[in-house]
Amino acid sequence: MEPMHLGCNMFGLYSFGPMMAKALGPETFMATYLAAGAMSSLGGMSAKLAMGKATPSLGASGAVLFLAAVTAFLRPDAEFCLIFLPFVPIPATTLLTGMVAMDLAGLILRWRRFDHGAHLAAVAAAYVYVHWGGLACANRFQAQCVAEWRELKRLLKQE
pLDDT tens across the length of the chain (159 residues):
577 777 878 887 887 788 888 887 887 888 888 888 888 888 888 877 788 887 777 777 888 889 989 888 988 888 877 766 667 888 888 888 988 898 888 888 877 777 788 889 999 999 988 888 777 777 777 778 888 888 888 888 887
pLDDT score of 75:
85
- Which is catalytic among the residues 40, 57, 116, 119? 119
- Which is catalytic among the residues 40, 41, 61, 116? 61
Decide if 119 is catalytic: yes
Phi, psi of 81 (to 5 degrees): -120, 130
pLDDT score of 101:
92
Strands 85-91 and 79-82: what pairing? antiparallel
Decide if 61 is catalytic: yes
Distance CA 97, CA 21 (A): 24
- Identify the CA nearest to 35 among candidates 148, 114, 119, 122: 122
Classified as helix, coil or strand, 112 is coil
DSSP conformational letter for 134: H
